Amino acid sequence: MERWRKVEIAQSIFALLIVSLLVSTSFYYIWASTTPPESSVKAIKLRVASGDPGSKVTTVIPIRIWAVDDENRVDKSRTDVVKVEMSPSQILRLRETQVSLVAGEATVEAYAVASGQENLLITVVWVEGESYLKPGTFLLAYPPPAYPGI
């Protein structure tokens, strides 16, 4: 009879161990799913664009820059320094040519010094920061073309 009692005790301990493992595993997965990841977005390139399509002709054109990953998601952890280059122009000038990203973004302004039409190539090149970012390019049409219906 005593032998069966030892078996029952061993089975009870084993069952308690299994139940405690199941409970602790489920708590771990609940905790892991509610804890936000540090940063799942890791930028590998720079993206550049100007103001909204269809914007009115203005003397100041904002040029926006982002540090993005392959899916164009902004990496908010980036504070890199980038250089903005523009093809030679008789109409537009850049207010500044080197900026720091703040939360993965920056804005540079180009301003008109004369009237006329031009297509300019804007290139943003990584200077320094966490890791190298591929350059970004953008074709800027000045003045912006008019989009009917917008």
pLDDT tens-digit readout, 93-135: 888 999 999 999 999 988 888 888 888 898 999 999 888 999 9
The region of weakest confidence among 15-29, 51-65, 134-148 is: 51-65
CA gap 114, 112 in Å, rounded: 6
Going by C-alpha positions, the residue among 61, 42, 40 that lies closest to residue 51 is 61
Query: Mapped to the 3 state alphabet, what secondary structure does the chain carry?
Result: CHHHHHHHHHHHHHHHHHHHHHHHHHHHHHHHHHCCCCCCCCCCEEEEEECCCCCCCCCEEEEEEEEECCCCCECCCCCCEEEEEECCCCCEEECCCEEECECCEEEEEEEECCCCCEEEEEEEEEEECCCCCECEEEEEEECCCCCCCC
Q: Is residue 60 scored above 80 in pLDDT?
A: yes
Q: What is the pLDDT of residue 34?
A: 66
| 43 vs 99, higher pLDDT | 99
| Residues in a beta bridge with 64 | 49, 107
Contact 37, 127 (CB under 8 A): no
Side chain identity at 47, as an amino acid letter?
R
Query: CA 94, 96, 97 angle in degrees (round to 5)?
Result: 90
| 45 vs 135, higher pLDDT | 135
| 78 vs 39, higher pLDDT | 78
pLDDT band at 23 (very low <50, low <70, confident <90, very high): confident
Q: What is the pLDDT of residue 106?
A: 92
pTM: 0.64
Task: Give the domain ranges of the chain.
Answer: 1-35, 45-142
Q: Is residue 6 scored above 90 in pLDDT?
A: no
On average, the pLDDT of the chain sits at: 82
Superfamily of domain 45-142 in the CATH hierarchy? Immunoglobulins (2.60.40.10)
pLDDT band at 84 (very low <50, low <70, confident <90, very high): very high
Between the CA of residue 52 and those of 55, 147, 150, what are the distances in Å? 6, 11, 10
Range from 89-93, 125-129, 145-149 that averages highest in pLDDT: 125-129
